[in-house]
Structure 1
Amino acid sequence: MKQFFLVVILLTLFCNGLNAQFNENPILNIENKDKNFLNYGYFLGFNRYGFKFDYKNDKGPRNTDVQVLESTGFNVGLIGEMRLNEFLDLRLEPGLYYNARTLGFPGFLDTDEGRRDAFREVKSTYINFPLLLKVSTKRYGNWKPFLVAGPSASLNLGSNEQSLDDNSSGTFRLKKWTYNYELGFGIDFYLEYFKFTPSVRGVFGINNELIPDNDPNSPWTSNIDAMRTRGLFVNFTFE
């Protein structure tokens, strides 16, 4: 609900300015903004993190798969952009991404103890370091669409990689570093005093993040071959 009201406020603040961007002959705002070799800014936004599982025995029924209950988290970070030419920019967007996911494991008895064992909450606070290539179209009046893609590395501040406890003690372990590739799109809107950019980006983990339990027959991790992050970012950028 809080996220909904924030989006409404942002849209209200900029609706008058954005309405003028699509006039036939708009007054051009900050015409030389993109001609600077270096540009800086910051972003705020939301995220939805999940996991993609690969199983050692993938021939079993679907109701034996791990279930992921996703939630909405928040993002905040900085932007540094280097102009390569009129259509290409190299961007570094270090940011803090907070989220919590709940994993549901099948096969536990419907008792108080079984229900406790069947669920594990995975809280994650990532510092994400993406290096992105931004490919833009030509500027149309006061707006410009673009695509963005590139690799990223995420440091999980909530990682328990060094913990000796595992799921038998209620601890679901994840690796400290995650490596990803990111793909997205957005639109630059040139307002009177700054550039406002809403964008959507998908995040796809490359490495296996799971640290298996000590017991090779663990009911939680024994059938998991790999677990990789999947995520969606919605960012609002101010430059």
Structure 2
Amino acid sequence: MAFTHIWHKLYLHRQKVTLACLFILFLLTGPVAQAQKIKALNKPGYDERPVHYGFYLAMPLTKYNLHHSQAYADQLNGGSDMSIRTKNEIGFYTGLVLNVRLADYLDGRFVPGVGFYGRTIEFKNVPTNVETAEVMSETVPNTMVELPLLLKYKAKRRSNIRPYIVAGIKPSIDLGKGNTGANDELALEVEKYDLALEYGIGIDIFYPYFKFAPELRFSHGLINQHKPVASSIYSGYIQKLTHHNVSLIFFFE
């Protein structure tokens, strides 16, 4: 499934700064301000639990990082004005939380879930043997089973709030078709398995009956997802595809 295309003119570092500013603004004006008004210590024995559970909802800004092939470079050297670039899309994923206490300020977290993504590649002025528009967009839909394994390092709790950082790896499996569904000459295919490096920051906010934690997390794919299609002109101009996500996640534990 494809999602609304936004911010396609921003550079990657500008996307991170914008999301980080929105995240900080949310924390300053939302749940943190509310939590600071609460004088009683909520869930005082929470950190001594060896195991606890929860669930999460997440909205990632996602795209492919694209490396062009030598065939693409040869076309440009020959005077072609074609271009191939990726677009940013909004996705969605959700899942469960298994948190294990390892030390006073360190937890291990297993947060399996399922994600729905639609990453788009735009082809402009690409010569083909079939009739196409000047600009063509091909979207690769992915339905991913994701199995993140993370370490969470927590600061000392202050009243009912506590900042933290997380880092780890995320293996994932694509349950979808792994292709755009286009004809052979325009087809794009991706690999079934992926592995990503993840890291982020967040803040635990303790309420009387649950803990809420907004988190900003970055995910960088480590495995080339591009699967060459011999009959595809589009595929021939791509050497490597890796995914990149910037996600706003809401945990309820």
Q: TM-score, normalised by structure 1?
A: 0.81
Letter in 2 for 1:45: A
Number of the residue aligned with 1:237: 251
Number of the residue aligned with 2:67: 54
Number of the residue aligned with 2:114: 96
Letter in 2 for 1:49: T
Q: Identity rate of aligned residues, in percent? A: 27
Letter in 1 for 2:95: G
State the shift of 1:167 in Å. 5.4
Q: 1:182 to 1:46 in 2, by over 3 A?
A: same
Query: In the aligned structure 2, how far is the partner of 1:49 from the partner of 1:193?
Result: 33
SS at match of 1:54: strand
Q: Does residue 1:157 correspond to 2:175, yes or no? A: yes
Aligned residues: 221
SS at match of 1:19: helix
Between 29-38 and 168-177, report the one with greater CA deviation.
Answer: 168-177
Query: In the aligned structure 2, how far is the partner of 1:103 from the partner of 1:196?
Result: 36
Query: In the aligned structure 2, how far is the partner of 1:76 from the partner of 1:219?
Result: 36
**Which residue among 153, 162, 165 is the counterpart of 1:135?**
153
Q: 1:118 to 1:154 in 2, by over 3 A?
A: same
Q: How does 1:168-207 map to 2 (within 5 A)?
A: 168=184, 170-207=186-223
Query: In the aligned structure 1, how far is the partner of 2:48 from the partner of 2:113?
Result: 25
Q: 1:225 to 1:51 in 2, by over 3 A?
A: same
Q: Does residue 1:81 correspond to 2:90, yes or no? A: no
State the shift of 1:117 in Å. 8.3
Query: In the aligned structure 2, how far is the partner of 1:73 from the partner of 1:18?
Result: 26
CA distances 1:85-115 after superposition (whole Å, capped 9, x unpaired): 11100000001111212211233369x9312
CA contact (8 A) 2:187 2:235 kept: no
Unaligned runs of 5+ in 2: 1-25
Number of the residue aligned with 2:137: 119
Query: In the aligned structure 1, how far is the partner of 2:134 from the partner of 2:199?
Result: 37
Q: Does residue 1:36 correspond to 2:52, yes or no? A: no
State the shift of 1:116 in Å. 8.7
Q: TM-score, normalised by structure 2?
A: 0.77
State the shift of 1:20 in Å. 4.2
Number of the residue aligned with 2:125: 107
Query: In the aligned structure 2, how far is the partner of 1:102 from the partner of 1:158?
Result: 16
State the shift of 1:236 in Å. 0.6
CA distances 1:31-80 after superposition (whole Å, capped 9, x unpaired): 1112100010000121121011122348658x754222222122210000
Between 97-106 and 29-38, report the one with greater CA deviation.
Answer: 97-106
Between 98-107 and 28-37, report the one with greater CA deviation.
Answer: 98-107
Unaligned runs of 5+ in 1: 1-10
CA contact (8 A) 2:154 2:162 kept: yes
Query: In the aligned structure 2, how far is the partner of 1:102 from the partner of 1:113?
Result: 20
CA contact (8 A) 1:77 1:93 kept: yes
Query: In the aligned structure 1, how far is the partner of 2:55 from the partner of 2:98?
Result: 9
Q: How does 1:8-27 map to 2 (within 5 A)?
A: 15=30, 18-23=32-37, 26-27=39-40
CA contact (8 A) 1:20 1:26 kept: no
